[in-house]
Structure 1
C-alpha cells in the first residue's frame, strides 16, 4: 500500500459523495434520497469498508468473490446490503447465492438458473438486475437491448430470483446510453412487477446518470480512493 493510499480519508470522501448525490438529485428535480449509493469495494482495504459502514453506507458492491470473502468480515452483523456487480463464473454461483442480497450483472440463463437453484430456502429471493451492453462494446459483458425483454421473461419464471431492473456501464462519451437505458426501463415496467431499479453512473458520470433517471449509482474511486489491483479475475 502506497503512502497516498494509507492517508486517504474515506470518511471525508463519503461525506463529499453524499453531497454530490444530493445536489444531483436536486438538480434533476428528484426527491432527496431517491438514489441509492453503492460503494464498489473491489480490492480495497477491509478497514475502509468498516469505516463507511459505521458511518452509514448501507450498500456495498463487489466485483470478485475472492475480495468479497475477505470484505464480508467487515460487516459480520450484515448491516449493509451486499451487491455482486462483476462477471459471474459458474463455479462461484453457490457462494454468491448464499451471501449476496443483490446480483447486478445477470446476463446468462445458465447463471440465472444456478443462482435460483442455489439460493438457500431460508433467505428471501435474490434481487437481480439484468446487465445491458448499452454501448455495444466488444470488451464488455451484457445483453443487447433487443434481448432484454426475452431474458426478463425467463428470469421472472425463477422463484428464487426477484427481477428489480437493469444495470449498464455506458462507454465514455456515449451520451445516448443514458436515455436509452431509461427507455428500456419504461418498456419493462408495465409487465414486469417490481421493476424499480436503474443502476448506471459511477464516479465520473453520476450526475449525468441521476439526471437521466438512475436510482442507483456504483461508486469506487471517488469513495474509497486509489484502487489496488484486484486479487482475481
Structure 2
C-alpha cells in the first residue's frame, strides 16, 4: 500500500490531498494569502484525521506551477523544508503536463492556455501527429515509443496575442483548448481561431491529475531532491 501526500498550489488557493494507492482519501484547501500561516496546521490536521503521521507517507507530490509565483514559492519552500526535516522523498510535477494528460486525445491536437499575467500565457501543446511523423515505423521498441510521445509535446510562455495568432498560422485542423486562459483570452481566440477552436475546460489541472502524474514518477523512480518552481518566461513558441 502506497500512501502519499499531494500539494497543489493553484491561482487562488492551495490544496492538500491524501492518496492511498492513487485514490483520493480526503482533500483540504485554504486561500493563497493564508498559506504561509496555515500550511503546516492544515496539513497536520488532515493527517491526524486519518490517524497518519509523516513517517506513514511514502512520498510527497508537489505542483511546480504554473501558478502565482508568491504562492508557489511559499508552498514549495515549506514542502522542501518538510522533506528535509523528515527525509520523505519529493516529486515535482509540471502542471501543464498534468493538464494535458487529463485532456489530450491520441488523434487530436490539444493546447493548454494558462494565465501568465501581463497579457502573457503559459502554454502546452500536445500534437500526436508530430510524434507519429517522427517515428512512423511498425518496428518501434518501447523506448522509441516513449521518446515519440515526449517529442509530441512542448511548453513555454509567450504574449497571448502573438501566440494565439501563431496557432492559427501553424494549424489548420481543429484545436482542443483547455485552461483558465481560454476564457480570459476568448476574444483573441474567436478572432484568430474562429471555428478551429474547441474549448474543453476553463480550469487548471486537478489535484487528482497532479497526484496521478506524481505516482507515475514514483513508480518510474523519478525522485526530486528539491522541488523548484517551473520557470517558463522567455521560452519561444
Relative to the length of structure 2, the TM-score reads 0.29
**TM-score between the two structures when normalised by the length of structure 1:** 0.30
More strand by share: 2
